[in-house]
């Protein structure tokens, strides 16, 4: 290209200068230090959080609202929350943790680092959790794996199985045995069953622990049977007791034109809601579970004869159109949406749908009535459900993290557990809302007549807690929910005039009372649980085959249900499973069983 | 990427796609055009930084990778990871699925693009032609997350398409749940999304056909079909061959985003491709070595394929990328 082709307005010298500057900038940019991958939200950068104001930022009504001082309307409440003593960190300690993206902050001005839950921790404890990154739940593990590969793990984060074992085995997380034993309170150790409870199995290696185990809820994944009672009454049937009764009820509801696909289902067979484990349980087995035989050996549930019987039932339901043919493309949330949209009559879900799916269903369909019924019995008359795996997840700390930070976080755990267990004494009624701070404008508010009413109730405020580590999830243990519901049940038995405004308000919430009823039902029917007997960590040999075997199994199950593969082929599937590493898997599991059971 | 560059070159009416005998560059030419070479610096720097430098990560395929110890600290295992990948029974399935789906997409997309371009070429109303072109090009710019959601809704067992089938008495088709049908669903939905964009190249090629040839043929009595068969198609055929040949360079790219959005375990046997397998192994199941091995194999095969495609295209159509 010659000068004659350049626009006459730009001289060659000017053009050279421009090119030089552009090239230099590009080279400098290319030589810049590596930065973490950009996060979903523009605020999610691992930098120092903005300095807090000396007082917590007001996020709700402009005047103090709890305590004897009347608010702007002259209203006074009669509960006075207090907190256990804590030696506040000053200056505040910063801890980098993953934040969850896409949360709902209904109060204007609130954000991940400015909301009552967050501000409470800063104000009371002097702990500032800053975001390593923000990501939606589905992106959580891919982001963590990215961090692992890049060497930029957050200070603390939660990990479930089987990744927990992988993180421990490669040395990515810190051995916290000494810090935990020196710092954790007796209450924490008692509630979390340290050191012998099975929830610690995943974090233990040779007697040392590599994280703080937690189990969200001892029965949080126990699936109960729910039915649209109004539709059942419309077709004139009694509550189904057996698998055949369920089929009959579903047929009747479909034929009456009340519901096109009466039985709720999603692509996963054993999962946290809309599962099918009670169907398989009726025949004595649970997919993906390890079942203990009479001889003490463990057998893989997915290849047991009972599974074929369960698949036969599901295939029949699929062929008759009793379950949505699109269930293979539906995850748990999508299947739950069908319940909320009034498109499901019978479904299997955990106790917490009381505040999960059902409020939206009742809001859209006030005539809907949901009853909890017994799980369906098989030909032998037995019922069964998977129950909640008593294999804990863990809050782990990256290798090399300063012991002072780990100590600070365990002290935070002590404080949270104290508040939770003695919530009535401290009048911390947020513990009935999964550990929320119970701030005005959130869980509750006062109307013009000084009645306690529902606040903005952000959808999933409990998720805020995950960013603060020791709220819901990190601080939990098997009986975490049960303690609260049993205390609430005593309120019902005492003279109601002795209850304070907050207690009456909570008992007046249908969702809360439903939760309590369903939880207690699940608790009272624990005997039908078919537990997963393998509670050990996944060894390297198991990890080498497990994911491929799960792929094989999930494909086969769906093919059997949809009829793409004949049920007579079940034995072939069993042999395939064994040949593709199932035998080695079984050997590893039974080696653990021999040593531990 | 190569195809996009070619599209730009064709749409600019430029014949700057390299013919079989490129102009040789001389030292004198380089001195004269040093400004241009200077302008290349930022792009070269980006290429080196983001494409060449990360190649060291291929080493992960040859070690027992520990992310904490890093590549240099991980134990060298030579070909063990490759043996494991090729030993797995699903590897052949993955390669087969990938090739079949990719082949289907490449050929059908170009055929559909050419056919649509020929149809548009015959449209005499410029406004309508432009409107049709814009509307059919739109889906190209949608992410597969959006198109996939539409597909799930339209093609599901209770979707609009099966509703239409039911209304005329046809049985429902499990577009997304039947492993025999799923590959066709992938190919056809991708063709729907991309045929408008593919047509852009062919439209540009059609405008380069000398109108005098068409007039002369009309004078000689050739009808529309005759002109199409004897003048238009031969004129655009080299471009078609070139596009298909270059597309073959991506024979192992079957469309990760699309498959990830649409597939489910029921269709793994015919719908799971190398890229989705790499995603599950690497980012979901933590097996970085397996994911890297598959990526290396893909890169090697892709390199051989594109070199071969370039040579074949040069022989058949006279057009080459390089």
- Summarised one tens digit per residue, pLDDT across range A178-231 is 999 999 999 999 999 999 998 998 899 889 999 999 987 889 899 999 999 999
> Domain for residue B292, yes or no?
yes
| Confidence (pLDDT) at B322 | 78
- Angstroms from A325 CA to nearest CA on chain B: 6
How would you classify residue A392: left for phi > 0, otherwise alpha for psi between -120 and 50, otherwise beta?
beta
> Domain for residue B60, yes or no?
no
- Angstroms from B52 CA to nearest CA on chain A: 13
**ipTM score here?**
0.72
Task: Grade residue A158 by pLDDT with cuts at 50, 70 and 90.
Answer: very high
Average model confidence (pLDDT) across chain B: 85
CATH top-level class of A224-386+529-596: alpha beta
- Between A426 and A101, residue with greater pLDDT: A426
Residues of A in contact with B36 (CB under 8 A): 1
Q: Which runs of E-coded beta strand occur in A275-400?
A: 290-292, 298-300, 346-349, 370-373, 393-397
Out of B69, B156, B265, name the one closest to residue A551 (CB). B265
- Between A5 and A202, residue with greater pLDDT: A202
Average the pLDDT over A9-28 and give the result: 64
> Is residue A442 scored above 90 in pLDDT?
no
Quote the percentage of chain B above a pLDDT of 90: 35
B68 vs A171: CB contact, 8 Å cut-off?
yes
> Domain for residue B143, yes or no?
yes
A145 vs B39: CB contact, 8 Å cut-off?
no
| CB-count burial class (<10 Å; 0-12, 13-18, 19+) for A130 | buried
> Is residue A48 scored above 70 in pLDDT?
no
B32 at A interface, C-beta within 8 A:
yes
Substitution target in B28, B65, B285 with the highest count of A β-carbons within 10 Å is B285
Asked which of A556-570, B11-25, B145-159 is least confident by mean pLDDT, the reply is B11-25
Out of B45, B174, B177, name the one closest to residue A26 (CB). B45
Average the pLDDT over A433-438 and give the result: 83
Out of A30, A146, A558, name the one closest to residue B266 (CB). A558
- Between A468 and A50, residue with greater pLDDT: A468
| Confidence (pLDDT) at A41 | 34
CB-CB contact of A169 with A544 (8 Å): no
> Domain for residue B59, yes or no?
no
Out of B41, B68, B157, name the one closest to residue A23 (CB). B41
CA dihedral in degrees (B133, B137, B139, B141; nearest 10)?
-150
A141 vs B41: CB contact, 8 Å cut-off?
no
Task: Grade residue A459 by pLDDT with cuts at 50, 70 and 90.
Answer: low
> Is residue A19 scored above 70 in pLDDT?
no
Interface of A with B in 193-252 (CB under 8 A): none
> Domain for residue B74, yes or no?
no
B179 vs A564: CB contact, 8 Å cut-off?
yes
A170 vs B68: CB contact, 8 Å cut-off?
yes
A171 at B interface, C-beta within 8 A:
yes
Return the residue matching tokens 């020196």.
Answer: A182
> Is residue B155 scored above 80 in pLDDT?
yes
> Following DSSP, what letter does each residue of A160-187 receive, concatenated?
-TTHHHHHHHTT-B---HHHHHHHS-HH
Out of B36, B49, B156, name the one closest to residue A1 (CB). B36
- Angstroms from A24 CA to nearest CA on chain B: 8
Return the residue matching tokens 């609130």.
Answer: A110
A30 at B interface, C-beta within 8 A:
yes
| Confidence (pLDDT) at B156 | 87
CA–CA separation, A542 and A540 (whole Å) = 5
Of A454, A464, A551, A515, whose CA–CA distance to A219 is shortest?
Answer: A515
- Angstroms from A177 CA to nearest CA on chain B: 21
CA–CA separation, A49 and A43 (whole Å) = 10
- Between B9 and A259, residue with greater pLDDT: A259
> Is residue A489 scored above 50 in pLDDT?
yes
B67 vs A166: CB contact, 8 Å cut-off?
no
> Is residue A371 scored above 90 in pLDDT?
yes
Residues of A in contact with B39 (CB under 8 A): 19
| Confidence (pLDDT) at A10 | 58
B283 vs A145: CB contact, 8 Å cut-off?
yes
Out of A15, A543, A551, name the one closest to residue B268 (CB). A551
Quote the percentage of chain A above a pLDDT of 90: 61
Task: Grade residue B84 by pLDDT with cuts at 50, 70 and 90.
Answer: confident
CATH number at residue B296: 1.10.3720.10
| Confidence (pLDDT) at A251 | 97
B68 vs A23: CB contact, 8 Å cut-off?
no
- In the numeric block, which tokens belong to residue B206? 């059609």
- Summarised one tens digit per residue, pLDDT across range B104-154 is 999 999 999 999 999 998 888 989 999 999 999 999 999 999 998 899 889
Substitution target in A210, A328, A550 with the highest count of B β-carbons within 10 Å is A328
- In the numeric block, which tokens belong to residue A93? 């300690």
> Is residue B6 scored above 50 in pLDDT?
no
- Summarised one tens digit per residue, pLDDT across range B197-231 is 999 989 998 888 888 888 888 888 888 888 888 88
Q: Residue B201: which domain range?
A: 90-317
- In the numeric block, which tokens belong to residue A181? 């034993």
Task: Grade residue A111 by pLDDT with cuts at 50, 70 and 90.
Answer: confident
Average model confidence (pLDDT) across chain A: 86
Quote the percentage of chain B above a pLDDT of 70: 91
B41 vs A324: CB contact, 8 Å cut-off?
no
Task: Grade residue A461 by pLDDT with cuts at 50, 70 and 90.
Answer: low
Task: Grade residue A318 by pLDDT with cuts at 50, 70 and 90.
Answer: very high
- Summarised one tens digit per residue, pLDDT across range B265-293 is 889 989 999 888 888 777 666 678 888 88
Helical ranges in A283-357 per DSSP H: 305-319, 332-340
Taking each helix axis as running N to C, give the angle between helix B182-207 and helix B126-141, from 0 to 180 degrees, rounded to the nearest 10: 140
Q: Which residues lie closer than 8 Å to A167 by C-beta, 6 or more apart?
A: A148, A159, A173, A396
- Angstroms from A59 CA to nearest CA on chain B: 36
| Confidence (pLDDT) at A535 | 85
> Is residue A55 scored above 60 in pLDDT?
no
Average the pLDDT over A525-554 and give the result: 88
- Between A23 and B318, residue with greater pLDDT: B318
> Is residue B8 scored above 90 in pLDDT?
no
B40 at A interface, C-beta within 8 A:
no
CA–CA separation, B195 and B250 (whole Å) = 17
Contacts across the A-B interface (CB distance below 8 Å) = 113
- Angstroms from A216 CA to nearest CA on chain B: 22
- Summarised one tens digit per residue, pLDDT across range A281-315 is 999 999 999 999 999 899 999 999 999 999 999 99
- Summarised one tens digit per residue, pLDDT across range A506-522 is 999 998 999 999 998 99
A149 vs B67: CB contact, 8 Å cut-off?
yes
B285 vs A547: CB contact, 8 Å cut-off?
yes
How would you classify residue A290: left for phi > 0, otherwise alpha for psi between -120 and 50, otherwise beta?
beta
A7 at B interface, C-beta within 8 A:
no
| Confidence (pLDDT) at A596 | 81
Domain A93-217+391-507: give its CATH architecture.
Answer: 3-Layer(aba) Sandwich (3.40)
> Is residue B15 scored above 60 in pLDDT?
no
> Is residue A15 scored above 70 in pLDDT?
no
Interface of A with B in 51-90 (CB under 8 A): none
Residues of A in contact with B66 (CB under 8 A): 170-171
Specify the pairing of strand A204-205 against strand A208-209: antiparallel
A16 at B interface, C-beta within 8 A:
yes
B285 vs A326: CB contact, 8 Å cut-off?
no
A166 at B interface, C-beta within 8 A:
yes
Residues of A in contact with B35 (CB under 8 A): 1, 15-16, 19
- Between A84 and A17, residue with greater pLDDT: A84
> Domain for residue B7, yes or no?
no
Q: What is the pTM assigned to this prediction?
A: 0.76
> Is residue A14 scored above 70 in pLDDT?
no
B266 vs A141: CB contact, 8 Å cut-off?
no
- Angstroms from B310 CA to nearest CA on chain A: 28
DSSP state of A114: B
- Summarised one tens digit per residue, pLDDT across range A374-424 is 999 999 999 999 999 888 789 999 999 999 999 999 999 999 999 999 999
Task: Grade residue B11 by pLDDT with cuts at 50, 70 and 90.
Answer: low
Task: Grade residue A165 by pLDDT with cuts at 50, 70 and 90.
Answer: confident
Substitution target in B177, B186, B267, B290 with the highest count of A β-carbons within 10 Å is B177
Substitution target in B75, B157, B160, B174 with the highest count of A β-carbons within 10 Å is B157
User: Where are chain A's structural domains?
Assistant: 93-217+391-507, 224-386+529-596
A580 vs B89: CB contact, 8 Å cut-off?
yes
| Confidence (pLDDT) at A46 | 26
Task: Grade residue B313 by pLDDT with cuts at 50, 70 and 90.
Answer: confident
> Domain for residue B204, yes or no?
yes
H or E element: which one contains A514? helix A510-524
> Domain for residue B253, yes or no?
yes
Taking each helix axis as running N to C, give the angle between helix A480-493 and helix A403-421, from 0 to 180 degrees, rounded to the nearest 10: 20
Nearest chain A residue to B267, by CA? A555
- Summarised one tens digit per residue, pLDDT across range B35-68 is 888 999 999 999 999 989 988 889 999 998 887 7
| Confidence (pLDDT) at B285 | 65
Chain-centroid distance, C-alpha A401? 26
B39 at A interface, C-beta within 8 A:
yes
Domains identified in chain B, total number: 1
A145 at B interface, C-beta within 8 A:
yes
Out of A170, A260, A562, name the one closest to residue B66 (CB). A170
Interface of B with A in 164-183 (CB under 8 A): 172, 174, 176-179
Residues of B in contact with A2 (CB under 8 A): 32
- Angstroms from A400 CA to nearest CA on chain B: 11
């Amino acid at each position: 290209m010659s000068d004659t082709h350049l626009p006459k307005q730009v001289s060659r010298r000017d053009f050279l200068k421009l090119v030089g500057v552009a090239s230099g900038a590009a080279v400098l940019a290319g030589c810049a230090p590596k930065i973490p991958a950009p996060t979903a939200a523009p605020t999610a950068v691992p930098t120092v959080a903005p300095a807090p104001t000396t007082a917590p930022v007001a996020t709700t009504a402009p005047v103090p609202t709890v305590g004897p001082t009347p608010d702007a309307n002259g209203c006074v409440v009669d509960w006075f929350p207090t907190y256990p003593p804590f030696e506040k960190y000053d200056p505040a300690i910063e801890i980098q943790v993953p934040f969850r993206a896409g949360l709902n902050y209904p109060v204007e001005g609130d954000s991940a680092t400015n909301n009552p839950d967050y501000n409470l921790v800063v104000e009371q404890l002097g702990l500032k959790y800053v975001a390593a990154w923000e990501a939606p739940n589905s992106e959580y593990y891919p982001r963590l794996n990215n961090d692992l590969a890049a060497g930029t793990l957050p200070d603390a984060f939660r990990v479930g199985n089987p990744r927990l074992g992988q993180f421990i085995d490669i040395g990515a997380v810190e051995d916290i045995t000494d810090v935990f034993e020196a710092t954790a309170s007796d209450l924490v150790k008692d509630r979390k069953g340290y050191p012998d409870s099975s929830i610690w199995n995943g974090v233990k290696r040779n007697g040392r622990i590599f994280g703080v185990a937690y189990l969200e809820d001892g029965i949080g994944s126990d699936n109960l049977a729910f039915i649209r009672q109004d539709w059942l009454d419309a077709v004139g049937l009694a509550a189904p007791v057996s698998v055949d009764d369920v089929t009959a009820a579903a047929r009747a509801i479909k034929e009456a034109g009340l519901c096109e696909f009466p039985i709720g289902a999603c692509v996963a067979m054993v999962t946290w809601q809309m599962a099918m484990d009670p169907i398989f349980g009726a025949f004595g087995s649970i997919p993906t579970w390890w079942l203990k035989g009479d001889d003490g050996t463990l057998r893989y549930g997915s290849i047991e004869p009972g599974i074929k019987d369960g698949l036969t039932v599901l295939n029949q339901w699929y062929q008759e159109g009793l379950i949505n043919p699109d269930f293979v493309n539906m995850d748990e949330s999508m299947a739950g949406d069908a319940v909320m949209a009034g498109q499901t009559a019978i479904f299997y879900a955990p106790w917490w749908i009381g505040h999960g799916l059902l409020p939206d269903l009742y809001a859209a369909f006030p005539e809907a009535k949901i009853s909890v019924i017994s799980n369906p019995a098989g030909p032998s008359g037995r019922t069964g459900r998977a129950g909640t795996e008593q294999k804990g997840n863990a809050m782990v700390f990256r290798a090399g993290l300063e012991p002072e930070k780990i100590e600070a976080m365990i002290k935070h755990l002590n404080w949270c557990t104290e508040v939770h267990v003695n919530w009535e004494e401290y009048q911390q009624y947020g513990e009935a809302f999964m550990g929320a701070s119970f701030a005005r404008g959130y869980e509750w508010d006062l109307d013009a007549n000084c009645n306690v009413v529902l606040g903005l109730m952000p959808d999933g405020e409990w998720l805020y807690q995950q960013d603060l580590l020791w709220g819901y999830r990190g601080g939990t243990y098997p009986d975490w929910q049960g303690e609260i519901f049993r205390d609430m049940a005593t309120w019902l038995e005492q003279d109601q005039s002795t209850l304070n405004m907050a207690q009456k308000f909570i008992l007046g919430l249908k969702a809360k009372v439903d939760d309590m009823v369903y939880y207690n039902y699940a608790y009272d029917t624990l005997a039908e649980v078919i537990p997963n007997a393998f509670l050990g960590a996944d060894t390297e040999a198991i990890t080498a085959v497990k994911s491929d075997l799960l792929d094989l199994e999930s494909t086969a199950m769906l093919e059997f249900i949809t009829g793409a593969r004949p049920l007579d082929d079940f034995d072939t599937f069993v042999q395939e499973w064994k040949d593709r590493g199932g035998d080695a898997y079984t050997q590893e599991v039974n080696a653990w069983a021999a040593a531990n059971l | 990427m190569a195809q996009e560059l070619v599209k730009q070159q064709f749409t600019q009416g430029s014949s700057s796609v390299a013919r079989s005998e490129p102009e040789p560059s001389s030292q004198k030419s380089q001195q004269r055009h040093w400004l241009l070479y200077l302008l290349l610096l930022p792009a070269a720097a980006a290429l080196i930084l983001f494409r060449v430098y990360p190649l060291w990560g291929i080493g992960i395929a040859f070690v027992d990778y520990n992310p904490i110890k890093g590549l240099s600290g991980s134990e060298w295992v030579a070909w063990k990871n490759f043996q494991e990948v090729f030993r797995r029974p699903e590897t052949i399935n993955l390669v087969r699925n990938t090739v079949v789906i990719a082949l289907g997409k490449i050929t059908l997309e170009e055929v559909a693009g050419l056919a649509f371009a020929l149809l548009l070429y015959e449209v005499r109303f410029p406004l309508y032609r432009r409107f049709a072109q814009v509307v059919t090009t739109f889906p190209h710019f949608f992410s597969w997350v959006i198109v996939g959601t539409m597909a799930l809704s339209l093609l599901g067992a209770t979707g609009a398409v099966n509703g239409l089938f039911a209304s005329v008495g046809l049985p429902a088709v499990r577009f997304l749940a039947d492993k025999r049908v799923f590959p066709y669903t992938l190919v056809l939905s991708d063709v729907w999304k991309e045929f408008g964009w593919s047509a852009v190249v062919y439209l540009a090629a059609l405008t380069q056909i000398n109108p005098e040839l068409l007039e002369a043929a009309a004078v000689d009595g050739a009808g529309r079909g005759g002109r199409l068969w004897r003048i238009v198609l031969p004129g655009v055929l080299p471009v078609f061959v070139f596009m298909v040949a270059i597309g073959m360079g991506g024979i192992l790219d079957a469309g990760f985003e699309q498959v990830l959005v649409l597939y489910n375990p029921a269709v793994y046997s015919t719908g799971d491709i190398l890229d989705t397998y790499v995603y599950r192994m690497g980012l979901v199941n933590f097996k970085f070595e397996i994911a890297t091995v598959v990526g290396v194999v893909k890169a090697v095969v892709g390199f051989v394929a594109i070199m071969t495609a370039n040579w074949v295209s040069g022989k058949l159509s006279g057009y080459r990328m390089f």
